[in-house]
Structure 1
Amino acid sequence: MYFAALLARTEDGWQASDTELDNVETLADLADLAREAAVDDDTVLALIEQEDAWFGVVRVDGEDDPRVFVSDGIAAGRSSYGAMLVDELIGRDDSDTEDLDSLNLDGTEDGEPEPAEDEDAAPGSEPLVPRGPVGDPGILSDLGVTHRELLALDGDALSTLADALGCTDVLEAVR
């Protein structure tokens, strides 16, 4: 099960809204959703978490390209939304992945999950899904969360991030 929220920075602090990811199939879709929530083209954070297995942060600043951090590439790669983020980060395109129609977008595929194929992949076959964090660990540095703090998060990471950003009450209101 996923939890997803958008945090939009304003002059008065942060505004949060929970968000449905039903129509999100690509990082560009998620960035567009975040831009719609933006106040005066300011920063929007899309936070995604799957049952404490992994979390992701997508940062959108105006029309700039989104920046992405995923806490665990292998765990995220086993879920539809996590795979979408990881695929973008490692440069795997849609032709390298399963058709999204075959996925149950609650975070599980039909049947048993396939084991990660990163260990046995032949050199040059396809990009490998990295173990552990992937993406930009400095994504929140200017907002008060250092890359070391971000890399050290586990468990209920989104609550810890909200504490550090000063928006715990706002995030908890939509949880």
Structure 2
Amino acid sequence: MYFAALLARTEDGWEASDTELDDVETLSDLADLAREHREEAEADDDTVLVFIEQEDAWFGVVRVDGEEDPRVYVSDAAAAARSSYGEILLTDEMLGREPGDDGADELDALDLDGTEDGEDSADDEDGEGSDDAVPAGPLGDTEILTDLGVSEKNLLSLESGDALSEIAEILGAAEVLETVR
């Protein structure tokens, strides 16, 4: 199960809205969606946060500041790579790949759970999963929320499941996030 929300800061505090990502295919599309939300919310601040999570598997935070390139943090890149929404966040630059070398041949052979068609989801002989192209664990800008009160150490210590609620609590946006959940 997925959850996605947009948060923008207005004169009355944070405003949150849930969002559908069905028409979002790239990080650029997601940034455009965030900018549209900022305008609709008549935000006082140029910053819009996008929260995305797949229940108990991974979460991601995208920060869009004005017209700057979006900043991204993903709690578990390998888990996110097996998700259509996670793939939006994992850009070639983040993964250290050349543009166009997206590992699509490898990923196309995988089911959404990361196993090849008809294959068990058990780990390989070395105890690692089969997708070497995407590292397991956190990836991206670990200082994405530092100026908003969420330290790098705090962000890295968050567990999937409650992470977005904990971040929202620190931001002072817990109530508005819960209303759209």
Query: Is residue 74–residue 116 contact of structure 1 (8 Å, CA) maintained in 2?
Result: no
4+ residue runs of structure 1 moved beyond 2 angstroms? 91-99, 111-117
Task: Give runs of aligned pairs for residues 1-175 of structure 1, distance below 5 A.
Answer: 1-38=1-38, 39-40=43-44, 42-88=46-92, 89-92=94-97, 93=99, 96-98=102-104, 109=112, 113-114=115-116, 116-118=130-132, 128-154=133-159, 155-175=161-181
Query: Is residue 18–residue 180 contact of structure 2 (8 Å, CA) maintained in 1?
Result: yes
How far does the alpha carbon of each residue in 1:97-149 deviate from its partner, in whole angstroms, 9 at most, with x for none?
549xx8xxxxx73x87445421xxxxxxxxx3122100001000000000000
Compute the TM-score of the two structures, normalised by the length of structure 1.
0.82
Q: Provide the rounded CA distance (Å) in 1 between the counterparts of 2:100 and 2:21.
A: 18
Q: Provide the rounded CA distance (Å) in 2 between the counterparts of 1:163 and 1:147.
A: 16
Q: Which runs of 5+ in 1 are unaligned?
A: 103-107, 119-127
Q: Provide the rounded CA distance (Å) in 2 between the counterparts of 1:82 and 1:164.
A: 24
Q: Percent identity over the alignment?
A: 66
How far does the alpha carbon of each residue in 1:35-73 deviate from its partner, in whole angstroms, 9 at most, with x for none?
001125621000000012100000001001100000011
Which protein is bigger by CA-based radius of gyration?
Answer: 2
Query: Is residue 35–residue 41 contact of structure 1 (8 Å, CA) maintained in 2?
Result: no
Count of aligned pairs between the two proteins: 158
Compute the TM-score of the two structures, normalised by the length of structure 2.
0.79
How far does the alpha carbon of each residue in 1:64-83 deviate from its partner, in whole angstroms, 9 at most, with x for none?
11000000111111111112
Q: Provide the rounded CA distance (Å) in 2 between the counterparts of 1:2 and 1:94.
A: 27
The CA RMSD over aligned residues, in Å, is: 2.1
